[in-house]
Structure 1
Amino acid sequence: MRIFKSRAVRAVTAALAVGMIATGCASERGKDDAKGGDKDTFVFAGAGDPGSLDPALASDGETFRVTRQAFEALLEHEAGGSKLVGGLAESWTGNPAGTVWTFNLRKGVKFHDGEAFNAAAVCANYDHWFNWKGTYQSSAVSYYWQKIMGGFAKNEDKEAPKANYKSCTAKDENTAVIEVHEPSANLPGGFSLQALAIHSPKAIKEYAKQAASGKGEAITYPKYSQEAGTVAGTGPYKIVKWNKGNKEITLERFDDYWGDKAKVKNLVFRTIATEEGRRQALQAGDIDGYDLVSPADVKTLEQAGFNVPTRDVFNLFYVGMTQEKNPALKKPEVRQAIAHAIDRENIVKTQLPEGGKVATQFMPDTVAGWSDKVKTYPHDTNKAKQLLAAAGEPKLKVEFCYPTEVTRPYMPAPQDMFELMKSDLEKAGITVTPKPMKWAPDYLDATEAGACALHMLGWTGDFNDGYNFIGTWFAKYDKQWGFKEQKVFDAVNAGSKIGDPAQRVDAYKKANEAIMEYLPGLPISSSPPAIAFGKNVNPPKVSPLTQENFAEVSFK
Structure 2
Amino acid sequence: MHIARSKVAVIAAAVSLGLVATACSSDRDSNGSDGGGSTERFIFGAAGDPGSLDPSLESDGETFRVSRQVLETLLDHESGGTELTGGLAETWDSNDEGTEWTFNLRDGVTFHDGEELTAQVVCDNFDRWYNWTGTYQSTALSYYWQAEFGGFAENESEDTPPPNYVGCEATEDLTAVINLEEPSSVFPGAFSLAAFSIHSPKSLERYAEDEASGEGDNISRPDYSQDPEAIAGTGPFQLSNWNKGNGEVTITRYDDYWGETAGFEEIVFRTISDEGARRQALEAGEIHGYDLVAPSDVEALEAAGFEVPVRGVFNIFYLAFTQERNEALEDLDVRRAVAHALDRQGLVDTQLPEGGVVATQFVPDTIAGYSDDVTLYDYDQDAARELLDEAGHADLTVDFCYPTEVTRPYMPAPADMFELMKADLEAVGVTVNPRPMKWTPDYLDTTRDGGCDLYLLGWTGDFNDAYNFLGTWFDGYSKEWGFRNDEIFDALAASSVEPDVETREAMYEEINELVMDFLPGVPISSSPPSIVFAENVNPPTVSPLTQEKFSEGSFK
CA shift, 1:39, in A, is 2.3
1:320 alignment partner in structure 2: 320
2:310 alignment partner in structure 1: 310
> Take 1:153 and 1:446, find their aligned partners in 2: how far apart are those partners?
26
> Take 2:101 and 2:488, find their aligned partners in 1: how far apart are those partners?
29
CA RMSD of aligned residues (A): 1.1
The alignment's TM-score, normalised by the length of structure 1, stands at 0.94
CA shift, 1:205, in A, is 1.1
> Take 2:33 and 2:480, find their aligned partners in 1: how far apart are those partners?
43
> Take 2:124 and 2:160, find their aligned partners in 1: how far apart are those partners?
22
Contact 1:34 1:288 in 2 (8 A): no
Unaligned runs of 5+ in 2: 1-26
* Residue-by-residue CA offset, 1:125-183 (whole Å, 9 max, x unaligned): 00000000000000110000001100000111232110000010000001000000000
2:302 paired with 1:292: no
1:436 alignment partner in structure 2: 436
- CA 1:290 to 1:31, structure 2 compared with 1: closer, same or farther past 3 Å? farther
* Residue-by-residue CA offset, 1:96-151 (whole Å, 9 max, x unaligned): 10000000000000011111001000000000000000000001100000011000
- The one-letter amino acid paired with 2:318 is Y
2:393 alignment partner in structure 1: 393
* Residue-by-residue CA offset, 1:525-550 (whole Å, 9 max, x unaligned): 00000000001000000000000000
- The one-letter amino acid paired with 2:424 is D
CA shift, 1:493, in A, is 2.4
2:137 paired with 1:137: yes
CA shift, 1:35, in A, is 3.6
> Take 1:31 and 1:58, find their aligned partners in 2: how far apart are those partners?
37
> Take 1:324 and 1:214, find their aligned partners in 2: how far apart are those partners?
22
2:481 alignment partner in structure 1: 481
2:229 paired with 1:229: yes
Superposed, 1:51-70 pairs within 5 Å as 51-70=51-70
> Take 2:270 and 2:63, find their aligned partners in 1: how far apart are those partners?
12
The alignment covers a number of residue pairs equal to 527
- The one-letter amino acid paired with 2:84 is L
- The one-letter amino acid paired with 1:420 is L
Contact 1:31 1:286 in 2 (8 A): no
* Residue-by-residue CA offset, 1:62-88 (whole Å, 9 max, x unaligned): 000000000000000000000000000
- CA 1:34 to 1:382, structure 2 compared with 1: closer, same or farther past 3 Å? farther
2:312 paired with 1:329: no
2:416 paired with 1:416: yes
* Residue-by-residue CA offset, 1:422-456 (whole Å, 9 max, x unaligned): 00000010000000000000000000000011000
- The one-letter amino acid paired with 1:430 is V
2:513 alignment partner in structure 1: 513
2:10 alignment partner in structure 1: none
- The one-letter amino acid paired with 1:159 is D
CA shift, 1:499, in A, is 1.0
- The one-letter amino acid paired with 1:162 is P
Does the residue aligned with 1:458 lie in a helix, a strand or coil?
A: strand
The alignment's TM-score, normalised by the length of structure 2, stands at 0.94
- CA 1:34 to 1:280, structure 2 compared with 1: closer, same or farther past 3 Å? farther
> Take 1:369 and 1:88, find their aligned partners in 2: how far apart are those partners?
30
Does the residue aligned with 1:249 lie in a helix, a strand or coil?
A: strand
1:380 alignment partner in structure 2: 380
Superposed, 1:165-176 pairs within 5 Å as 165-176=165-176
1:277 alignment partner in structure 2: 277
Superposed, 1:362-373 pairs within 5 Å as 362-373=362-373
> Take 1:493 and 1:175, find their aligned partners in 2: how far apart are those partners?
30
Displaced runs of 4 or more, over 3 A: 30-38
Superposed, 1:110-189 pairs within 5 Å as 110-189=110-189
Does the residue aligned with 2:141 lie in a helix, a strand or coil?
A: coil
* Residue-by-residue CA offset, 1:176-211 (whole Å, 9 max, x unaligned): 000000000110000000000100111111101101
Contact 1:359 1:524 in 2 (8 A): yes
> Take 2:199 and 2:516, find their aligned partners in 1: how far apart are those partners?
40
* Residue-by-residue CA offset, 1:291-317 (whole Å, 9 max, x unaligned): 000000111000000010000000000
> Take 1:44 and 1:265, find their aligned partners in 2: how far apart are those partners?
14
- The one-letter amino acid paired with 1:371 is S
> Take 1:226 and 1:385, find their aligned partners in 2: how far apart are those partners?
49
1:260 alignment partner in structure 2: 260
Contact 2:33 2:40 in 1 (8 A): no
- CA 1:363 to 1:156, structure 2 compared with 1: closer, same or farther past 3 Å? same
- The one-letter amino acid paired with 1:447 is T
Does the residue aligned with 1:432 lie in a helix, a strand or coil?
A: strand
> Take 1:111 and 1:444, find their aligned partners in 2: how far apart are those partners?
31
CA shift, 1:491, in A, is 2.2
1:198 alignment partner in structure 2: 198
CA shift, 1:494, in A, is 2.5
2:548 alignment partner in structure 1: 548
2:103 paired with 1:103: yes
1:42 alignment partner in structure 2: 42
Does the residue aligned with 1:317 lie in a helix, a strand or coil?
A: strand
> Take 1:552 and 1:351, find their aligned partners in 2: how far apart are those partners?
31
CA shift, 1:492, in A, is 2.3
Contact 1:229 1:240 in 2 (8 A): yes
Contact 1:130 1:165 in 2 (8 A): yes
Percent identical pairs in the alignment equals: 60
